[in-house]
Amino acid sequence: MLVMDALPEPSVSADVYDEEYYRKWCAGYAEWTESDGTTVAGIYPGFLERAGLRPGETVVDLGTGRGELLVTAVEMGAVHAYGVEYSTAALRMAERTIEVHGVGDQAEVVLADVRSVPLPDAFADLVCFVDVVEHLSPEELHAALEEARRVLRPGGRVVAHTMPNRLTYDVTYRVLRPLIGRSWPKDPRNDYERAMHVNEQTLRSLRRAFERAGFVTRAELGLWIRDDFVPSAFARRIYQLLSDAGPLRQLAMADIWAFGTKA
């Protein structure tokens, strides 16, 4: 097990990401918890398909959590998959995932901070951020993207998925609240989001973060309309209508993708 380099304290302590979080909240938790790691949620093969994973590639997953992306990448043809994780609770769960899938010769997880990755220069084909960037401050995200660029070969790709799209909270919800539901909570975020989400993104902000780190980049909206936090059926309908409204889609769609290439 490799230990992370000395760094300034992270914006969110690793201790916040305890086993309860990974078993009861973090995306894909139901499949992992019910199967003790043997079943992987569909979000992981879906991510790798959209990322264009090709057989024989080397994958790095920054903020790997329970490690489902690592085993999925190997099962989809990656020659090797490396996970980087600073939560010791998550690291133990990722090691369990690798063990029960029998891919320990091709998948590995290391205890480290994504701002300082203990992996070689220019050896990876694909670097993944699966719902991680919103948990990193702008400075931490920049450092992590610079590390992603460092470990990628020329022509290598970095792909990020993040949610929520900040506009669905800070614009759409804020506009609807005084018009429809003055009694709604002022902040629609749940306790985990308030504790962990230090850098929620928009299309523009995520694209700029990738460009600042030196990637040739595109960003696009996802397909998920998340409206469960809106305490009104009528207002939820507005989110649905906005999702079909051309440029206004960014006020309703819950998730964002970014794709970068190392020149």
pLDDT (tens digit, 9 = 90+) per residue, 208-233?
A: 999 999 999 999 999 999 999 999 99
Q: CB neighbours of 69 closer than 8 A, spacing ≥ 6? A: 44, 47, 48, 59, 61, 81, 83, 128, 130
In tens, the pLDDT along 133-143 reads 999 999 999 99
Residue range 14-165+198-225+254-262, CATH number: 3.40.50.150
Evaluate the omega torsion of the peptide bond into residue 164 and state whether it is cis, within 30 degrees of 0: yes
Q: What is the DSSP letter of 133?
A: G
1 pLDDT above the threshold of 70: no
Q: Which helix (H) or strand (E) holds 101?
A: helix 88-101
Distance CA 103, CA 81 (A): 10
What predicted TM-score, i.e. pTM, was given to this entire model?
0.95
Q: Which amino acid is at 216?
A: V
**Which tokens in the block code for residue 69?**
């992306």
Q: Compute and round to an integer the Cα radius of gyration of the chain.
A: 18
